[in-house]
Amino acid sequence: MRMRAVCKVEPKPGAELIEIDMPEPEPDEVLVKIKAASICGTDVHIYEWNKWASERVKRFPQIMGHEFCGEIVKTGREAKRLKVGDYVSAETHIPCNNCIQCLSGQQHLCKNLKILSLDTDGAFSEYIAIPEVIAWKNDKSIPPEFASIEEPLGNAVYATTVHDLIGRTVAIFGDGPIGLFSVGIARLSGAALIFCVGLNPVRLKIAEKMGADFALNNNEIDTVSFIMEKTEGNGVDVVLEMAGVQETIDQGLKVLRKGGAFSAFGITPDSVNVDINNGIIFKGATIYGINGREMFNTWVKTTNLLKYKRLDISPVITHKFKLEDFKKGFELMMAIPKVSGKIVLFP
Protein backbone atom coordinates (compact mmCIF):
# COMPACT_ATOMS: atom_id res chain seq x y z
CA MET A 1 0.00 0.00 0.00
CA ARG A 2 1.01 3.59 -0.60
CA MET A 3 0.68 6.62 1.66
CA ARG A 4 1.30 10.35 1.60
CA ALA A 5 4.27 11.76 3.49
CA VAL A 6 6.09 15.08 3.89
CA CYS A 7 9.67 14.25 2.98
CA LYS A 8 13.04 15.83 2.72
CA VAL A 9 13.72 14.55 -0.78
CA GLU A 10 17.11 16.17 -1.33
CA PRO A 11 19.66 18.20 0.66
CA LYS A 12 18.29 21.70 0.12
CA PRO A 13 15.66 24.02 1.68
CA GLY A 14 12.01 22.94 1.66
CA ALA A 15 10.16 19.62 1.65
CA GLU A 16 7.68 17.81 -0.59
CA LEU A 17 4.47 15.86 -0.11
CA ILE A 18 5.02 12.60 -1.98
CA GLU A 19 3.60 9.09 -2.17
CA ILE A 20 5.74 6.31 -0.73
CA ASP A 21 5.28 2.74 0.44
CA MET A 22 3.49 2.31 3.75
CA PRO A 23 5.92 0.88 6.33
CA GLU A 24 5.68 -2.68 7.57
CA PRO A 25 6.39 -3.06 11.30
CA GLU A 26 9.48 -5.00 12.37
CA PRO A 27 8.97 -7.78 14.97
CA ASP A 28 9.49 -5.33 17.87
CA GLU A 29 7.48 -2.48 16.30
CA VAL A 30 3.90 -1.28 16.06
CA LEU A 31 2.27 0.36 13.04
CA VAL A 32 0.37 3.54 13.89
CA LYS A 33 -2.25 5.33 11.80
CA ILE A 34 -1.55 8.97 12.53
CA LYS A 35 -4.33 11.21 13.81
CA ALA A 36 -2.32 14.41 14.30
CA ALA A 37 1.30 15.59 14.14
CA SER A 38 2.80 18.88 15.26
CA ILE A 39 5.69 20.95 13.93
CA CYS A 40 8.77 21.29 16.14
CA GLY A 41 11.66 23.74 15.95
CA THR A 42 13.86 20.82 14.87
CA ASP A 43 11.58 20.32 11.86
CA VAL A 44 12.05 24.00 10.99
CA HIS A 45 15.84 23.59 11.03
CA ILE A 46 15.51 20.67 8.62
CA TYR A 47 13.03 22.54 6.43
CA GLU A 48 15.31 25.59 6.29
CA TRP A 49 18.29 23.26 5.79
CA ASN A 50 20.73 25.03 8.10
CA LYS A 51 24.25 23.87 8.96
CA TRP A 52 23.09 21.58 11.76
CA ALA A 53 20.50 19.89 9.55
CA SER A 54 22.94 19.35 6.68
CA GLU A 55 25.33 17.60 9.07
CA ARG A 56 22.65 15.53 10.81
CA VAL A 57 20.25 14.31 8.09
CA LYS A 58 21.83 11.86 5.66
CA ARG A 59 18.97 9.73 4.23
CA PHE A 60 16.83 10.84 1.30
CA PRO A 61 13.94 10.77 1.00
CA GLN A 62 13.32 10.99 4.73
CA ILE A 63 9.93 11.57 6.33
CA MET A 64 9.98 14.58 8.64
CA GLY A 65 8.28 15.11 12.00
CA HIS A 66 8.45 13.39 15.38
CA GLU A 67 5.56 14.76 17.46
CA PHE A 68 2.37 12.80 16.83
CA CYS A 69 -0.44 10.62 18.07
CA GLY A 70 -2.46 7.87 16.43
CA GLU A 71 -4.03 4.45 16.63
CA ILE A 72 -2.17 1.16 16.42
CA VAL A 73 -3.35 -0.83 13.42
CA LYS A 74 -0.78 -3.64 13.42
CA THR A 75 1.78 -5.11 15.80
CA GLY A 76 5.00 -7.04 15.23
CA ARG A 77 5.15 -10.59 16.57
CA GLU A 78 7.43 -9.57 19.47
CA ALA A 79 5.28 -6.61 20.53
CA LYS A 80 3.35 -7.78 23.59
CA ARG A 81 2.59 -4.68 25.70
CA LEU A 82 0.26 -2.90 23.27
CA LYS A 83 -2.52 -4.05 20.97
CA VAL A 84 -4.41 -3.01 17.85
CA GLY A 85 -6.75 -0.12 18.66
CA ASP A 86 -4.55 1.45 21.34
CA TYR A 87 -4.24 5.24 21.12
CA VAL A 88 -0.57 6.24 21.41
CA SER A 89 1.99 9.00 21.27
CA ALA A 90 5.73 8.39 21.09
CA GLU A 91 8.90 9.15 22.99
CA THR A 92 11.42 10.33 20.39
CA HIS A 93 14.46 8.95 22.22
CA ILE A 94 14.95 5.36 21.08
CA PRO A 95 17.06 3.61 23.77
CA CYS A 96 19.28 0.57 23.32
CA ASN A 97 18.30 -0.84 26.75
CA ASN A 98 21.80 -2.32 27.10
CA CYS A 99 24.10 0.55 28.11
CA ILE A 100 24.83 1.59 31.71
CA GLN A 101 22.44 4.54 31.44
CA CYS A 102 19.52 2.37 30.29
CA LEU A 103 20.28 -0.27 32.90
CA SER A 104 20.40 2.45 35.58
CA GLY A 105 16.94 3.77 34.80
CA GLN A 106 18.18 6.63 32.61
CA GLN A 107 16.90 5.56 29.19
CA HIS A 108 16.51 9.20 28.13
CA LEU A 109 20.31 9.51 28.41
CA CYS A 110 21.07 6.30 26.49
CA LYS A 111 24.68 6.10 25.32
CA ASN A 112 23.58 4.63 21.98
CA LEU A 113 20.52 6.83 21.57
CA LYS A 114 18.70 7.06 18.25
CA ILE A 115 16.26 9.86 17.48
CA LEU A 116 12.91 9.41 15.77
CA SER A 117 12.76 11.27 12.42
CA LEU A 118 16.51 11.90 12.43
CA ASP A 119 17.82 8.34 12.53
CA THR A 120 14.50 6.91 11.33
CA ASP A 121 11.56 8.04 9.23
CA GLY A 122 9.21 10.45 10.95
CA ALA A 123 5.52 11.17 11.42
CA PHE A 124 4.42 13.76 8.85
CA SER A 125 2.61 10.99 7.05
CA GLU A 126 -0.45 8.77 7.24
CA TYR A 127 1.31 5.86 8.99
CA ILE A 128 4.47 5.31 11.00
CA ALA A 129 6.19 2.18 12.33
CA ILE A 130 7.88 2.71 15.70
CA PRO A 131 9.55 0.46 18.29
CA GLU A 132 7.00 -0.65 20.85
CA VAL A 133 9.36 0.48 23.62
CA ILE A 134 8.77 4.16 22.77
CA ALA A 135 5.01 3.94 22.18
CA TRP A 136 3.06 5.55 25.02
CA LYS A 137 -0.58 4.55 25.52
CA ASN A 138 -2.91 7.51 25.90
CA ASP A 139 -6.32 7.87 27.43
CA LYS A 140 -8.77 8.18 24.54
CA SER A 141 -10.36 11.26 26.10
CA ILE A 142 -7.27 13.34 25.24
CA PRO A 143 -7.90 15.30 22.00
CA PRO A 144 -5.49 14.44 19.15
CA GLU A 145 -4.14 17.99 18.98
CA PHE A 146 -3.13 17.66 22.66
CA ALA A 147 -1.85 14.08 22.43
CA SER A 148 0.29 15.01 19.41
CA ILE A 149 2.32 17.43 21.54
CA GLU A 150 2.82 15.31 24.63
CA GLU A 151 6.49 14.90 23.69
CA PRO A 152 7.38 18.64 23.79
CA LEU A 153 4.96 19.19 26.67
CA GLY A 154 6.96 16.51 28.48
CA ASN A 155 10.10 18.62 28.05
CA ALA A 156 8.36 21.43 29.91
CA VAL A 157 7.00 19.08 32.58
CA TYR A 158 10.48 17.66 33.23
CA ALA A 159 12.27 21.03 33.24
CA THR A 160 9.66 22.59 35.53
CA THR A 161 8.73 19.84 37.97
CA VAL A 162 12.34 18.89 38.72
CA HIS A 163 11.93 21.80 41.17
CA ASP A 164 9.58 22.17 44.13
CA LEU A 165 7.72 25.32 43.04
CA ILE A 166 5.17 25.72 45.80
CA GLY A 167 5.42 29.33 46.93
CA ARG A 168 8.52 29.91 44.78
CA THR A 169 9.41 32.74 42.43
CA VAL A 170 10.19 31.62 38.88
CA ALA A 171 11.71 33.25 35.79
CA ILE A 172 11.24 31.50 32.44
CA PHE A 173 13.52 32.69 29.65
CA GLY A 174 12.12 31.84 26.21
CA ASP A 175 8.65 32.34 24.74
CA GLY A 176 8.64 29.31 22.43
CA PRO A 177 5.97 26.65 22.94
CA ILE A 178 7.97 24.78 25.59
CA GLY A 179 8.56 27.96 27.56
CA LEU A 180 4.84 28.75 27.31
CA PHE A 181 3.94 25.25 28.50
CA SER A 182 6.30 25.77 31.44
CA VAL A 183 4.42 28.90 32.46
CA GLY A 184 1.22 26.88 32.79
CA ILE A 185 2.99 24.05 34.64
CA ALA A 186 4.67 26.50 37.04
CA ARG A 187 1.30 28.09 37.78
CA LEU A 188 -0.28 24.68 38.33
CA SER A 189 2.64 23.69 40.58
CA GLY A 190 1.97 26.52 42.99
CA ALA A 191 4.58 29.10 41.96
CA ALA A 192 3.97 32.40 43.76
CA LEU A 193 5.34 34.73 41.08
CA ILE A 194 6.10 33.91 37.44
CA PHE A 195 8.11 35.98 34.96
CA CYS A 196 8.21 34.97 31.28
CA VAL A 197 10.88 36.65 29.16
CA GLY A 198 10.68 36.64 25.37
CA LEU A 199 10.82 38.68 22.19
CA ASN A 200 7.48 38.16 20.48
CA PRO A 201 4.33 40.11 21.45
CA VAL A 202 1.98 37.35 20.21
CA ARG A 203 3.69 34.72 22.29
CA LEU A 204 3.99 36.96 25.34
CA LYS A 205 0.21 37.40 25.22
CA ILE A 206 -0.07 33.62 25.28
CA ALA A 207 2.29 33.57 28.30
CA GLU A 208 -0.18 35.80 30.14
CA LYS A 209 -3.03 33.44 29.25
CA MET A 210 -0.95 30.52 30.57
CA GLY A 211 -0.51 32.27 33.90
CA ALA A 212 2.54 34.57 33.78
CA ASP A 213 2.36 37.47 36.24
CA PHE A 214 4.78 39.42 34.07
CA ALA A 215 5.42 38.79 30.36
CA LEU A 216 8.56 40.78 29.57
CA ASN A 217 9.78 41.77 26.12
CA ASN A 218 13.58 41.58 26.18
CA ASN A 219 13.75 44.18 23.41
CA GLU A 220 11.80 46.75 25.37
CA ILE A 221 12.77 46.45 29.03
CA ASP A 222 15.82 45.94 31.25
CA THR A 223 14.73 42.47 32.25
CA VAL A 224 17.33 41.91 34.95
CA SER A 225 16.58 45.21 36.71
CA PHE A 226 12.82 44.61 36.51
CA ILE A 227 13.00 41.11 38.01
CA MET A 228 15.43 42.18 40.74
CA GLU A 229 13.16 45.09 41.67
CA LYS A 230 10.06 42.90 41.83
CA THR A 231 11.89 40.39 44.04
CA GLU A 232 13.22 43.10 46.40
CA GLY A 233 16.77 42.59 45.18
CA ASN A 234 16.85 38.89 46.03
CA GLY A 235 16.33 37.38 42.60
CA VAL A 236 14.14 34.38 41.83
CA ASP A 237 14.21 30.95 43.42
CA VAL A 238 14.12 29.10 40.10
CA VAL A 239 15.20 29.92 36.54
CA LEU A 240 14.09 27.89 33.52
CA GLU A 241 16.36 28.74 30.57
CA MET A 242 14.50 27.67 27.41
CA ALA A 243 16.05 29.92 24.74
CA GLY A 244 19.63 28.70 24.55
CA VAL A 245 21.31 32.02 23.75
CA GLN A 246 24.16 33.83 25.50
CA GLU A 247 22.01 36.79 26.52
CA THR A 248 19.30 34.82 28.30
CA ILE A 249 21.77 32.46 29.96
CA ASP A 250 23.58 35.50 31.37
CA GLN A 251 20.32 37.12 32.43
CA GLY A 252 19.07 33.92 34.03
CA LEU A 253 22.19 33.51 36.16
CA LYS A 254 22.08 37.18 37.18
CA VAL A 255 18.48 37.01 38.43
CA LEU A 256 18.93 33.66 40.18
CA ARG A 257 19.06 34.18 43.93
CA LYS A 258 21.80 32.71 46.10
CA GLY A 259 20.97 29.06 46.73
CA GLY A 260 18.57 29.00 43.79
CA ALA A 261 18.14 26.35 41.07
CA PHE A 262 18.53 26.62 37.29
CA SER A 263 17.08 24.33 34.59
CA ALA A 264 19.27 24.40 31.47
CA PHE A 265 17.09 23.27 28.57
CA GLY A 266 17.75 25.63 25.63
CA ILE A 267 20.19 24.17 23.09
CA THR A 268 22.84 26.70 22.12
CA PRO A 269 23.92 26.98 18.46
CA ASP A 270 27.53 27.50 19.57
CA SER A 271 29.53 27.37 22.77
CA VAL A 272 28.70 30.03 25.35
CA ASN A 273 30.66 31.73 28.11
CA VAL A 274 29.42 31.42 31.68
CA ASP A 275 30.56 33.41 34.72
CA ILE A 276 30.95 30.24 36.73
CA ASN A 277 32.32 32.04 39.81
CA ASN A 278 29.62 34.66 40.31
CA GLY A 279 26.82 32.88 38.48
CA ILE A 280 27.16 29.42 40.01
CA ILE A 281 29.87 28.81 42.62
CA PHE A 282 29.50 31.89 44.85
CA LYS A 283 25.71 31.60 44.57
CA GLY A 284 25.70 27.95 45.58
CA ALA A 285 23.43 27.37 42.59
CA THR A 286 22.02 23.99 41.60
CA ILE A 287 22.05 23.36 37.84
CA TYR A 288 19.84 20.75 36.20
CA GLY A 289 20.67 19.66 32.65
CA ILE A 290 17.36 18.81 30.97
CA ASN A 291 17.66 16.33 28.11
CA GLY A 292 14.26 15.36 26.72
CA ARG A 293 11.96 13.64 29.19
CA GLU A 294 12.48 11.02 31.87
CA MET A 295 11.36 7.68 30.49
CA PHE A 296 8.72 7.20 31.60
CA ASN A 297 8.15 9.12 34.80
CA THR A 298 7.59 12.36 32.90
CA TRP A 299 5.08 10.68 30.57
CA VAL A 300 2.97 9.55 33.51
CA LYS A 301 2.78 13.13 34.81
CA THR A 302 2.11 14.63 31.38
CA THR A 303 -0.67 12.20 30.51
CA ASN A 304 -2.38 12.69 33.86
CA LEU A 305 -2.30 16.47 33.51
CA LEU A 306 -4.16 16.14 30.20
CA LYS A 307 -6.39 13.20 31.10
CA TYR A 308 -7.72 14.86 34.25
CA LYS A 309 -7.84 18.30 32.61
CA ARG A 310 -5.53 19.92 35.16
CA LEU A 311 -3.54 21.79 32.49
CA ASP A 312 -5.13 23.69 29.59
CA ILE A 313 -2.62 23.95 26.75
CA SER A 314 -5.12 25.21 24.17
CA PRO A 315 -3.77 28.82 24.19
CA VAL A 316 -0.42 27.53 22.89
CA ILE A 317 -2.02 25.75 19.90
CA THR A 318 -2.57 28.64 17.49
CA HIS A 319 -2.99 26.96 14.09
CA LYS A 320 -4.27 23.69 12.61
CA PHE A 321 -3.74 22.59 8.99
CA LYS A 322 -4.31 19.58 6.82
CA LEU A 323 -1.14 17.62 6.07
CA GLU A 324 -1.12 18.82 2.47
CA ASP A 325 -0.98 22.43 3.71
CA PHE A 326 2.23 21.82 5.66
CA LYS A 327 4.05 24.64 3.85
CA LYS A 328 1.66 27.17 5.40
CA GLY A 329 2.62 25.83 8.80
CA PHE A 330 6.33 26.14 8.13
CA GLU A 331 5.93 29.67 6.76
CA LEU A 332 4.21 30.69 10.00
CA MET A 333 6.85 28.97 12.10
CA MET A 334 9.63 30.83 10.27
CA ALA A 335 7.97 34.26 10.45
CA ILE A 336 9.86 37.00 12.30
CA PRO A 337 8.59 38.20 14.71
CA LYS A 338 6.90 34.95 15.71
CA VAL A 339 3.17 34.95 15.02
CA SER A 340 2.35 31.38 16.02
CA GLY A 341 2.56 29.00 18.92
CA LYS A 342 2.21 25.31 18.27
CA ILE A 343 1.03 24.22 14.80
CA VAL A 344 -0.70 20.89 14.34
CA LEU A 345 -1.11 18.95 11.06
CA PHE A 346 -3.90 16.45 10.35
CA PRO A 347 -3.45 13.72 7.68
Catalytic residues: 42, 45
- Using left for φ > 0, alpha for ψ between -120 and 50, and beta otherwise, residue 117 falls in left
Largest CA distance in the chain: 65
Q: CA–CA separation, 89 vs 107, rounded Å? A: 17
| 3-state SS assignment for residue 204 | helix
DSSP state of 108: G
Q: For residue 32, give the H/E element and its range.
A: strand 29-38
Beta strands in 85-218 (DSSP E): 87-90, 93-94, 114-115, 127-131, 135-137, 169-173, 193-198, 214-217
**CB of 326 within 8 A of CB of 46?**
no
